[in-house]
Amino acid sequence: MRIRTIEDYHEAYKDSIEDPKTFWAAIAQEFRWKKPWTKVLDWSFDDYNVKWFRNGKLNITENCLDRHAENKPNHPALIWEPNDPEDEPEIITYKVLLDRVCRFANVLKKHGVTKGDRVCIYMPMIPELAVAVLACARIGAIHSVIFGGFSAQSISDRINDSQCELVVTTDGAVRGAKNIPMKETVDDALVACPSVKKVIVATHTRTPVSMIKGRDYWWESEVKHVEAECPAEEMDSEDPLFILYTSGSTGKPKGVVHTCGGYMVFTSYTFENVFQYHPGDVFFCTADVGWITGHSYLVYGPLLSGAITVMFEGIPTYPDAGRLWDIVDRHKVNILYTAPTAIRSLMGFGLEYLEGKDLSSLKVLGSVGEPINEEAWHWYNDHIGKGKCPIVDTWWQTETGGIMISPLAGITKTKPSYATLPLPGVQLELVDENGSTIEGNGVNGNLCITYPWPSIIRTTWGDHERCKSTYFSTYPGKYFTGDGCMRDEDGYYRITGRVDDVLNVSGHRIGTAEVENAINSHTGVVESAVVGYPHDVKGQGVHAFVICEEPQDEDSMMKRDILMTVSRIIGPIAKPDKIQIVSGLPKTRSGKIMRRILRKIAEGEYNNLGDTSTLLDPGVVDEIVKGAKEL
């Protein structure tokens, strides 16, 4: 299963295209199945339906935990680095992790959770989060992890969409110097969530919380009263493993569904090959488990491969901008996987934060979530990797489950800002606006995938039509990624960014329509339009153009209130960086907002707005340009 040379890669790629079923079956064979599959793959991209390893039975946690707990019980599985560097890190072995997962799985069972039930997890980055995720998988409950930066409203929308029965949370959280009231936010959310019967609260910050009799239970006391053993539920390869909500072009986030068998095979395969993980290496993924990167490359991928995975509770700038380098030094991290936004932010603090940090353990660096600009790439390469660590720029999506385009560390020749080549099993195609395939090299187009890979999105929870129309209808017969992409003269791929109304702010995916809905719900707002613009640190910033009911005496008050509204409705991560109050928006005669013009204005390209003569009121553009310059 391990690719070691570029020749191996080309051979594996060729095999994977010529005979994908044999290729993936050979890889799947290496896992522990309770019953073998009877057919490798059934699929159609026309009437979307994909099923891998049909009738195969397994439990992913046996593959993540039991296998390793049997072979190497005292080998570290998870290293937890607390927010406060003065606090002790925790090292959890495979045996202990299995034990903790089984106990918590029994707690879930005791509270009535059974196979197929949905469990919402809203927690900070502490070991209990990984335990809760795996405990759900142990008993076949479907986890829906919600990132800790989402508001009560966002939590309840997600809980209601998938009808979760139980919520796992903590009393509070700490991120840097900030205290975050987790349970209080959950309490606010649950006012509107009749499906939730139970809440399990792990003690973390000792923040005072309300505990409702018959509904709310303390994690610590619950785990004391259950067995330490819990048989792994037999799951069908195609049973859902989890739901993860992500933003799209519409106002409502969709629940991306991944299933047990294919997700297991693909995340482990890509983890080992992209990062060239060697047994004993310490792997540090800085992503939150609330996002797909945390699911696939902090929890599942590394544990499936018996790796040592580092989980960091805090933020890269606390107590200072040297924190990530302290962690690398302290835990002798060999592989670091982070986001360009973190690199750019740390770059801005200067090299003094690297002084005295021993980074010599590093062998491989990874980047994920957004395009990495050349300057950040070079800084990462020169100052963190000291020129000796290959950088893997990994392109993928919540919907793809795992890495799709990436160099293999030390094997594929890298090129700054290029994700380089597709992984084995990944069949890419660039298409033009009409859906025609663009052949050859030195071309640009929209990125599609033409053949299923094991961890492809199976459906959007509760709405299969939405899955079909979002991903498989723009270019019939193909999965459309929503990304623009260039294939250069060498056949290397470079992602140029989203071509739809999805923004990528600090590596977080945010739908413009969602932000607009939130702004429009503010009293006094008539209409708004949200676009992205290049931001030095965040990659993209959010620029909101807002029409108010009445002229504002004090713009700043209105803007502050709008920010608060967005924070309440979506969460602080979606707060616009710029709010511009305008008297009108550039619209066509049919009433469509010309976002192209707004994007240009937000980008500062005032002299390159294109044809504005077809607008209902061309004059409005001058006013908006004037206002934008004054922001």
Phi first, then psi, for residue 7 (nearest 5°) are -65, -40
Q: What is the largest CA-CA distance in the chain?
A: 73
Give the residue among 40, 592, 72, 614 at the shortest CA–CA distance from 306.
72
Burial of 551 (0-12, 13-18, 19+ CB in 10 A): exposed
HEC profile of 82-143: CCCCCCCCEEEEHHHHHHHHHHHHHHHHHCCCCCCCEEEEECCCCHHHHHHHHHHHHHCCEE
- Smallest distance from ligand PRX to CB 294, Å: 9
CB closer to ligand PRX, 509 vs 600: 509
Helices 127-139 and 94-110, axial angle in degrees (round to 10): 60
Q: Count residues near ligand PRX (CB under 6 A).
A: 22
Return the exposure string of 344-357: e unless at least 16 CB atoms fall within 10 Å of the residue's CB, then b.
bbbbeeeeebeeeb
What span, in angstroms and rounded, lies between the C-alpha atoms of 448 and 437?
A: 10
What span, in angstroms and rounded, lies between the C-alpha atoms of 537 and 587?
A: 31
- Smallest distance from ligand PRX to CB 78, Å: 21
- Smallest distance from ligand PRX to CB 506, Å: 11
- Smallest distance from ligand PRX to CB 18, Å: 27
CB closer to ligand PRX, 106 vs 309: 309
- Smallest distance from ligand PRX to CB 474, Å: 14
Amino acid symbol at 195: S
Is-contact 248 7, C-beta < 8 A?
A: no
- Smallest distance from ligand PRX to CB 497, Å: 6
List Cβ neighbours of 429 (8 Å cut-off, separation of 6 or more).
Answer: 437, 447, 448, 449, 450, 478
- Smallest distance from ligand PRX to CB 507, Å: 7
- Smallest distance from ligand PRX to CB 151, Å: 18
Question: Considering only residues 43-82, where is the footprint of ligand PRX by CB under 6 A?
Answer: none
CB closer to ligand PRX, 246 vs 267: 246
CB closer to ligand PRX, 292 vs 328: 292
Phi first, then psi, for residue 606 (nearest 5°) are -70, -25
List Cβ neighbours of 231 (8 Å cut-off, separation of 6 or more).
Answer: none
Give the residue among 303, 368, 318 at the shortest CA–CA distance from 340.
368
- Indicate whether 281 belongs to the interface with ligand PRX (CB under 6 A): no
CB closer to ligand PRX, 322 vs 390: 390
- Smallest distance from ligand PRX to CB 365, Å: 13
CB closer to ligand PRX, 27 vs 485: 485
CB closer to ligand PRX, 147 vs 451: 147
CB closer to ligand PRX, 127 vs 340: 340
* Interface map 534-553 toward ligand PRX (x if CB under 6 A): --------------------
Q: Quick one: which of 145, 167, 292, 544 contacts ligand PRX (CB under 6 A)?
A: 292
Token look-up 């893997």 returns 392
Question: Considering only residues 461-520, where is the footprint of ligand PRX by CB under 6 A?
Answer: 481-483, 495, 497-498, 504, 509
Q: ∠ at Cα 560 (557, 564), nearest 5°?
A: 135
- Smallest distance from ligand PRX to CB 97, Å: 25
Question: Considering only residues 362-421, where is the footprint of ligand PRX by CB under 6 A?
Answer: 368-371, 393-398, 419
Is-contact 134 64, C-beta < 8 A?
A: yes
Residue nearest to ligand PRX (CB): 398
**What are 235's strand-pairing partners?**
58
Tokens encoding 349: 């603090």
What span, in angstroms and rounded, lies between the C-alpha atoms of 548 and 579?
A: 12
- Smallest distance from ligand PRX to CB 591, Å: 29
List Cβ neighbours of 329 (8 Å cut-off, separation of 6 or more).
Answer: 357, 358, 359, 361
CB closer to ligand PRX, 170 vs 338: 338
Tokens encoding 504: 């990528």
- Smallest distance from ligand PRX to CB 275, Å: 14
CB closer to ligand PRX, 65 vs 368: 368
CB closer to ligand PRX, 92 vs 503: 503
CB closer to ligand PRX, 151 vs 398: 398
In terms of residues, how long is the chain? Answer: 631
What span, in angstroms and rounded, lies between the C-alpha atoms of 243 and 254?
A: 9
CB closer to ligand PRX, 292 vs 585: 292
CB closer to ligand PRX, 401 vs 424: 401
Question: Considering only residues 305-344, where is the footprint of ligand PRX by CB under 6 A?
Answer: none
- Smallest distance from ligand PRX to CB 299, Å: 14
- Indicate whether 293 belongs to the interface with ligand PRX (CB under 6 A): yes
Is-contact 137 60, C-beta < 8 A?
A: yes
- Smallest distance from ligand PRX to CB 400, Å: 8
Is-contact 322 356, C-beta < 8 A?
A: no
Question: Considering only residues 193-252, where is the footprint of ligand PRX by CB under 6 A?
Answer: 246
HEC profile of 300-348: HHHHHCCCEEEEECCCCCCCCCCHHHHHHHHHCCCEEEECHHHHHHHHH
Q: What is the distance of C-alpha 606 from the center of its chain?
A: 34
Q: Which residues bind ligand PRX (CB under 6 A)?
A: 246, 292-293, 368-371, 393-398, 419, 481-483, 495, 497-498, 504, 509
